[in-house]
């Protein structure tokens, strides 16, 4: 029995909203990885009091009126930190510069900057579509924004800009993306209305209306998926994962895993802090390939790496359709997945924006180049648990971004098995 780390998406959002609250907040089971620490560090520079992020400890946050930071905000490897902060900074009347590590500086920011500019924020690019950049916020206009892509980060940036500016916003997406921002705002009593893939938010006139709150953050579905795949690759046994967030916008991977033959049972379904939560009981099964449709991708884009390595051990072919967004994650995950699967003896190819993986290969053997991407490193570490596997990684530091105790938990599962 094991509890994966706190949900990364919810941790970012809870820290940011707590930094604006009118009183002290307490957050339990926060993610303590490097990405969450990047958000906490930035919020401290903006004037909030954010306690240390330590495993097993609640984090106490005391909000404040944000002031211009004395130096550039360093967002590390965290796209969520950069993009959501842009939304919040859009409603503050001072200039802020943001940057990140080499990987983050390559990731697109214009997708967030465009709607914020339409609301009235001034955003100055330094080297094209990415970081570093500077934003000067102020009085914003309401917006009804038609997003060209399903992106929780774009949607959340606009909703948070509406919150701090006190203006109504509507975001329409081509498909439903993760809805943690809407759920958290609704849990705190704000007027958020969701109809299909359209969200309308009518905030009060000032950000000081964020009330003090306590929040218990569920375990991260993305992190849990790696452990589910470990259990699926095993020759027998059972794995229980506790308190996993089973938000419907995040459980696409569970649907795919079930189609592939993995036995997954949800127990003790409940709602915690506005989010659905359950314990997952996982048993291996006879694995077969499947097709992951374009419509499913928004609900599992971060889980493609573990699903892809599992597909290499299944019978038949698996095709992941329309996963081109993987090219602009922490690395070019699409290319790295195919290249590394071939490096360990599997058959894999990129076909346009599709990833095609053939199963039935001999036990994986070889060296993997992670690109310093946490999800690539974790996926191939998981593949290395398959019977007869001998997989080595180019580095093992990157999982600390989202799952600091990943290797410890991986070894614990292996020992229990």
Q: For residue 125, what pLDDT is reported?
A: 95
Q: What is the pTM of this model?
A: 0.96
Category of 47 on φ-ψ map: left (φ > 0), alpha (ψ -120 to 50) or beta = left
Q: For residue 208, what pLDDT is reported?
A: 59
Q: What is the pLDDT of residues 216-249, one digit of tens each?
A: 999 999 999 999 999 999 999 999 999 999 999 9
Contacts of 349 by beta carbon, 8 Å cutoff, 6+ apart: 338, 355, 356
302 a catalytic residue = yes
Provide the 3-class DSSP secondary structure of residue 117. Answer: helix
Tokens linked to 318: 């698996």
Taking the C-alpha atoms of residue 403 and residue 407, their distance in angstroms, rounded to an integer, is 9
Taking the C-alpha atoms of residue 247 and residue 225, their distance in angstroms, rounded to an integer, is 14
Q: For residue 209, what pLDDT is reported?
A: 76
Q: For residue 207, what pLDDT is reported?
A: 54
* ω into 193 cis (within 30 of 0): no
The active-site residue out of 220, 302, 373, 409 is 302
Taking the C-alpha atoms of residue 413 and residue 417, their distance in angstroms, rounded to an integer, is 6
Q: For residue 205, what pLDDT is reported?
A: 82
Taking the C-alpha atoms of residue 312 and residue 288, their distance in angstroms, rounded to an integer, is 10
Compute how many other C-beta atoms are within 10 angstroms of the C-beta atom of residue 38: 25
Provide the 3-class DSSP secondary structure of residue 240. Answer: strand
Category of 316 on φ-ψ map: left (φ > 0), alpha (ψ -120 to 50) or beta = left
Cβ atoms of 49 and 62 within 8 Å: the answer is: yes
Q: For residue 206, what pLDDT is reported?
A: 63
Say if residue 71 is exposed, middle or buried (CB neighbours under 10 Å; 0-12, 13-18, 19+).
exposed
On the CB side of 184, CA atoms within 13 Å amount to: 29
- CA 104 vs CA 35, 82, 189, 272, 404: distances in Å: 11, 9, 34, 32, 19
Q: For residue 392, what pLDDT is reported?
A: 98
Residues of the chain with confidence (pLDDT) below 50: none
């Amino acid at each position: 029995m094991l509890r994966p780390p706190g949900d990364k998406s919810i941790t970012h959002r809870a820290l940011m909203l707590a930094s604006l609250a009118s009183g002290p907040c307490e957050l339990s089971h926060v993610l303590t990885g490097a990405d969450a620490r990047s958000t906490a560090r930035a919020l401290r520079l903006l004037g909030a009091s954010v306690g240390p992020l330590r495993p097993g400890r609640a984090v106490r946050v005391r909000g404040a009126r944000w002031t211009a930071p004395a130096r550039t905000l360093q967002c590390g490897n965290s796209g969520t930190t950069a993009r959501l902060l842009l939304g919040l900074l859009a409603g503050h009347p001072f200039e802020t510069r943001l940057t990140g590590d080499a990987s983050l500086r390559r990731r697109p920011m214009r997708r967030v900057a465009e709607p914020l500019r339409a609301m009235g924020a001034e955003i100055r690019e330094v080297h094209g579509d990415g970081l570093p950049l500077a934003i000067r916020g102020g009085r914003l206009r309401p917006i009804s924004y038609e997003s060209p892509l399903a992106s929780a980060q774009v949607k959340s940036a606009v909703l948070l800009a509406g919150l701090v500016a006190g203006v109504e916003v509507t975001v329409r997406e081509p498909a439903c993306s993760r809805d943690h921002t809407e759920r958290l705002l609704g849990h705190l009593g704000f007027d958020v209305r969701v109809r299909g893939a359209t969200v309308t938010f009518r905030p009060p006139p000032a950000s000081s209306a964020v009330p003090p709150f306590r929040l218990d953050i569920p375990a991260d579905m993305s992190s849990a998926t790696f452990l589910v795949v470990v259990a699926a690759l095993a020759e027998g046994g059972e794995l229980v994962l506790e308190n996993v967030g089973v938000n419907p916008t995040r459980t696409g991977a569970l649907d795919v895993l079930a189609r592939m033959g993995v036995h997954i049972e949800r127990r003790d379904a409940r709602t915690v802090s506005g989010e659905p939560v359950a314990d997952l009981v996982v048993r291996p099964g006879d694995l077969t390939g499947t097709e992951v449709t374009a419509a499913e991708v928004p609900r599992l884009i971060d889980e493609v790496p573990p699903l892809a390595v599992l597909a290499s051990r299944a019978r038949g072919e698996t095709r992941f359709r329309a996963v081109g967004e993987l090219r602009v994650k922490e690395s070019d995950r699409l290319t790295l997945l195919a290249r590394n699967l071939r490096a360990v003896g599997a058959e894999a190819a990129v076909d346009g924006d599709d990833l095609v993986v053939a199963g039935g290969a001999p036990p994986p053997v070889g060296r993997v180049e992670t690109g310093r991407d946490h999800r690539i490193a974790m996926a191939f570490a998981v593949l290395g648990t398959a019977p007869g596997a001998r997989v080595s990684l180019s580095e093992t530091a990157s999982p600390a971004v989202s799952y600091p105790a990943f290797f410890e938990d991986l070894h614990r599962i292996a020992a229990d098995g």
